Chain A
Amino acid sequence: MVRHLKRSYIYLIFAFLYMPIAVLMVYSFNDARSRGMWGGFTLRWYVELFQDRTIMHSLYATLIIGASSAVLATIIGTMAAIGIHNSKGPAKKVIMNVTYLPVLNPEIVTAISLMLLFVFTRVRFGYLTLLLSHISFNVPYVILSVLPKLRQLNKHLYEAALDLGCTPLQALWKVIIPEIMPGIVTGLLLAFTLSIDDFVISFFTTGSGVSTLSITVYSMARRGINPKINALSTIMFTFVLALLIVVNVRQAREERKERNGKRAPKKDSPYDPKFGSA
């Protein structure tokens, strides 16, 4: 009895979480002007979505900015994490605190501070400012994903590589980087997702003519309901769901392998529900 009550509560919460998405998806196939009515099944909004040049342009912009900012943030962040890991004392503390600052700051404050920077340095607002802002809010997350891997690393591995004749750069490239690879991949995925999902910072740092998907949705939604957005949501949700299922099935399979003692444990995935909490 109690167990049923508990389960029903969770089902209610799930209904609350999924109802808006479900309604959006159903309405995306609705062929009616008045939204309360069901006017029959249609794919009209999907056709219109793919013909809408503004939406398509912003989709490309989102993907380009997402991919390039994720890659660059991962490079900068990984190097930074290695550097931070190897430094000591008060300097390390100061660097870590400043690194945490964009994570702790409200998004809107980060956004306006970057906007002021670009105004002050007279950089033209557009792709460049968008890219730089996305890199800068992503770098801390990469650092925070890579640092734990570095702490798990055997200290003597690097020295051993040097003793065996590696130059420092070779030791870094052939020993350290492969060892911390899971953290780097986590950071990359996290950076990509955060960049795609971002609205506030993009909104303040973009220029005329350049807009990401979030910005386009915002300006369309401000004018009220638009069935094309429903179609877009349906596609995005299906895509995310498929991606999550693939990642989780793969992870479950790997965990089963680990239990059979074939591979080293792998944790800290952003697709893990527990990631980033606590």
Chain B
Amino acid sequence: MRRFTLTPYLVWMVLFTVVPMLLVLYYAFSVPTAGGTTWSLENFSRFFEPIYLRVFLRSLSLAVISTAICLLLGYPAAMIMAGSAFKRKNVVMLLFVVPMWMNFLLRTYAWLTILERSGFINSVLAFLNLPRLNILYTDKAVILGMVYNFLPFMVLPIYSVLSKIDKGVVEAAGDLGANPLQVFIKVILPLSMPGVVSGITMVFMPAMTTFVISRLLGGGQFTLIGNLIEQQFLVVGDWGFGSAISVVMIVVILLSMAVMSFFEGPERDVALW
């Protein structure tokens, strides 16, 4: 039975996962020559030219900023929702995830309507006789779009870890003389680290690689690393360079995941749940 069930999938997996990844590596490490292709690191050395490095650093900083904002907004939210402020927790959580079920593009597009020059926010500001706010097609709009789209990815893992923490542990800390701040820093925060780590990874990765949010809210001129890859494949046709950037991006993400799991490290083994 095993051969019957597993073999079709193995063929599928090799064809649609392994071979495509090998093709990306092949294109990244080779350049076309007169008589075919040769192995080369040229695509990677191009990446380190100042223009491209600037794009990379810009993507990195926007991703870090939006991840930090998501964490700052999301951690308290997750904590409140996991606590006893609401009686019907399930309903609150459901309301929280409903917007996520709307098409990702439509959600991003919605911000166009709001931030536009004659859009919702500016109408409200004009009505109140306040100066206009023009952040559409800037870094701020892109960060806003990222936070809006990825905030649930931060809240959900933290929420699920926090709601599993044994209440007795928290009470015990209080009984042993810790004030609320100490309870939070010494008990709740360390216990919630796995959730924080997976939240950070789940926000950082899409924020680092998006090209849709930057294209729609950042305008045509705005380039992040995702836009650069898109351009290489769909406009310029330089698959080698595009593949090389993708490989660099995968390495960055793997590195960040390794760093994150290092932070998560020891707590995981003595976890209380």
Q: Do A and B come from one complex?
A: yes
Interface 1/0s, chain B 6-25, versus A by CB < 8 A?
11111011011111110110
Please state if A221 and B109 are interface contacts (CB–CB under 8 Å).
Answer: yes
Q: Could you tell me which residues of chain A, from 15 to 42, have a CB within 8 Å of some CB in chain B?
A: 16-21, 23-24, 27, 34-37
Q: Cβ of B156: which chain A residues have Cβ within 8 Å of it?
A: 273-274, 276-277
Interface residues of B (CB under 8 A from A): 1-2, 5-10, 12-13, 15-21, 23-24, 27, 73, 76-77, 80-81, 83, 85-86, 90, 92-99, 101-114, 116, 118-120, 122-123, 126, 148, 151, 156-157, 159-161, 194-195, 198, 205-206, 208-209, 211-212, 215-216, 220, 226, 229-230, 233-234, 239, 242-243, 246, 249-250, 253
Question: Would you list the 3 A-B pairs with minimal beta carbon distance, nearest first?
Answer: A83-B6, A20-B110, A113-B20
Check if A109 sits within 8 Å of B246, measured CB to CB: yes
Interface residues of A in 71-93 (CB under 8 A from B): 76-77, 79-80, 82-84, 86-87
Partner of A116, one of B8, B24, B103, B118: B24
Q: Flag whether A148 is at the interface (Cβ < 8 A).
A: no
- Bound complex: CA of A196 vs CA of B16, how far in Å? 20
Chain A: interface residue count, which band? Answer: 35 or more
Task: Report the bound CA distance from A196 to B99 in whole Å.
Answer: 15
CB distance from A210 to the nearest CB of B (A): 15
Answer whether A214 and B105 are a contact pair too, CB < 8 Å, given A21-B110, A117-B20, A204-B233.
Answer: yes
Question: Do B102 and A236 touch across chains, with their CB atoms under 8 A apart?
Answer: yes
Across the interface, B209 reaches (CB within 8 A) one of A7, A20, A106, namely A106
Beyond A108-B209, A218-B216, 12 extra complex contacts between A and B, CB < 8 Å:
A10-B85, A10-B86, A34-B118, A36-B123, A76-B12, A83-B9, A84-B6, A136-B12, A221-B112, A232-B106, A277-B156, A278-B161
Chain A, 219-278, CB within 8 A of any chain B CB? 221-222, 224-225, 229-230, 232-233, 236-237, 240-241, 244, 248, 273-274, 276-278
**Inter-chain contact A35/B8, CB cutoff 8 Å:** no
Q: Is A101 an interface residue (CB 8 A)?
A: yes
Q: Which of B110, B161, B195 has the most CB of A within 10 A?
A: B110
How distant is the Cα of A35 from the Cα of B126 in the complex, in angstroms? 13
Complex: A168 Cα to B208 Cα, angstroms: 48
